[in-house]
Chains A and B, each alone.
Chain A
Amino acid sequence: MFASASSVKVAALTVNTPSVNFNLKYEKEWADLEPVPQDDGPNPVVKIAYSEKFSDVYDYFRALLKNDERSDRAFALTAEAIELNAANYTVWHYRRVLLQALSKDLREEMRYITAIIEEQPKNYQVWHHRRMVVEWLNDPSEELEFIADILSQDAKNYHAWQHRQWVIQEYKLWDNELKFVENLLEDDVRNNSAWNQRHFVISHTTGFSDPAIVEREIQYCLSQIRKAPHNESAWNYLKGMLQDRGLSSPPGLLERVLELKETHCSPYLLAFLFDCYEDALENSNQKENVGEEERKDILRKALEICDLLANEKDTIRKEYWLFLGRSLENKSGSRGPSDKPPEPSDPASGQQEMS
Chain B
Amino acid sequence: MWQRDGGQLFKKNFFFSFCVKRAVLRCLFVHFLLHSSYQLFVINPSFLCFRPALLREQHYQYLKKGLRHLSDAYECLDASRPWLCFWILHSLELLEEPIPTAVASDVCQFLARCQSPTGGFAGGPGQHAHLAPTYAAVNALCIIGTEEAYNVINREKLLDFLWSVKQPDGSFVMHVGGEVDVRSAYCAASVASLTNILTPKLFEDTTNWILSCQNWEGGLSGVPGLEAHGGYTFCGTAALVILGKEHMLDLKALLRWVVSRQMRFEGGFQGRCNKLVDGCYSFWQAGLLPLLHRALFKEGESELSRQRWMFEQQALQEYILLCCQNPAGGLLDKPGKSRDFYHTCYCLSGLSIAQHFGNMDLHHEMILGKEENRLAPTHPVYNICPEKVSQALQHFHRLPVPYENKPPGKADTAVKEPTVDRTQGCHYD
Identify the closest chain A residue to B122 (Cβ). Answer: A90
Given A87-B80, A236-B273, A346-B307, also A353-B340 (CB < 8 A): no
Contact A158/B128 with A1-B231, A40-B110, A50-B72 known, Cβ cut-off 8 Å: no
Contact flags B197-235 to A (C-beta < 8 A → 1, else 0) = 000000000000000000111100011011111010000
A5-B73 CB under 8 A given contacts A240-B217, A354-B361 = yes
- Whether A48 touches B70, Cβ cut-off 8 Å, given contacts A89-B178, A319-B305, is yes
Q: Choose one: A47, A84, A190, A319; the contact of B68 (CB below 8 Å).
A: A47
Q: How far, in Å, is B308 (CB) from chain A's closest CB?
A: 5
Q: Is B416 an interface residue (CB 8 A)?
A: no
Query: How many of chain B's residues touch chain A, expressed as a range?
Result: 35 or more
Bound form: Cα–Cα A198–B177 in Å: 31
Are A45 and B103 in contact, CB atoms less than 8 angstroms apart?
A: yes
Name the segment of A17-25, A134-142, A320-328 touching the other chain. A320-328
A199 shortest CB reach to chain B, Å: 5
Q: Which residues of chain A are within 8 angstroms of B227 by Cβ–Cβ distance?
A: 158, 161, 192-193, 196
User: A187 CB to closest chain B CB, in angstroms?
Assistant: 9
Q: Looking at B259, B273, B362, which has the most chain A CB atoms within 10 Å of its CB?
A: B273
A49 and B69 in contact, given A39-B113, A354-B297 (Cβ under 8 angstroms): yes
Question: Chain A's nearest CB lies how many Å from the CB of B213?
Answer: 12
Main secondary structure on chain B at its contact with chain A? loop
A44 to B22, CA, bound (A): 45
Q: Across the interface, do A162 and B226 meet the contact criterion of CB distance under 8 Å?
A: yes
As a 0/1 sequence over residues 331 to 350 of chain B, the CB contacts with chain A under 8 angstroms (1 = contact) are 00000001011110000000
Q: Which residues of A from 208 to 257 have beta carbons under 8 Å from B?
A: 230-233, 236-237, 240-241, 243
How far is it, in angstroms, between the C-alpha of A327 and the C-alpha of B302 when the chains are bound? Answer: 8
B310 to A45, Cβ gap below 8 A? no
A241 to B216, CA, bound (A): 7
Contact A318 B69 (CB under 8 A): no
State how many angstroms separate the Cβ of B286 from the closest Cβ of chain A.
12
Write the nearest CB–CB distance from B116 to chain A, whole angstroms: 10
Q: At the interface, yes or no: A26 with Cβ under 8 Å from chain B?
A: no
Q: What 0/1 readout, one digit per residue, does chain A (129-171) give for beta carbons within 8 Å of chain B?
A: 0010000000000000000000000001010011001000100
A88 to B264, CA, bound (A): 38
Contact string, B106-135, partner A, CB cutoff 8 A, digits 1/0?
110110010000000011111110101000
Q: Point out the residues of chain B lying under 8 angstroms from A318, CB to CB.
A: 312
Give every chain A residue within 8 A of B229 (Cβ-Cβ): 1, 158
Q: Does B81 contact A (CB under 8 A)?
A: yes
CA distance A43 to B104 in the complex (A): 11
Residue of B nearest to A36 (CB): B126
Select one of B109, B174, B304 contacting A352, CB under 8 A.
Answer: B304
* Contacts A1-B229, A161-B227, A162-B222 given; does A316 touch B78 at CB 8 Å: no
Q: Report A-chain residues with C-beta under 8 Å of the C-beta of B353.
A: none
Known contacts A41-B109, A90-B127, A162-B226; A353 and B361 CB within 8 A of each other: yes
Interface hit among B38-46, B83-91, B151-159: B83-91
Q: Give A223 to B379 CA distance when docked, in angstroms.
A: 45
The answer on a CB contact under 8 Å between A232 and B75 is: no
Name the B residues within 8 Å of A36 (CB-CB).
126
Q: Which of A87, A156, A352 contacts B272 (CB 8 A)?
A: A156
Contact check, B75 vs A9: say whether CB atoms are below 8 A apart: yes
What residues of chain A lie closer than 8 Å to B76, measured between beta carbons? 5-6, 9-10, 85-87
Closest 10 CB pairs of A and B: A240-B216, A5-B340, A326-B303, A46-B84, A196-B227, A316-B264, A192-B273, A43-B106, A7-B73, A90-B127
Pick 10 A–B contacts, CB within 8 A, sort by A.
A45-B110, A46-B85, A47-B70, A62-B126, A87-B80, A156-B275, A161-B226, A316-B264, A330-B303, A352-B306
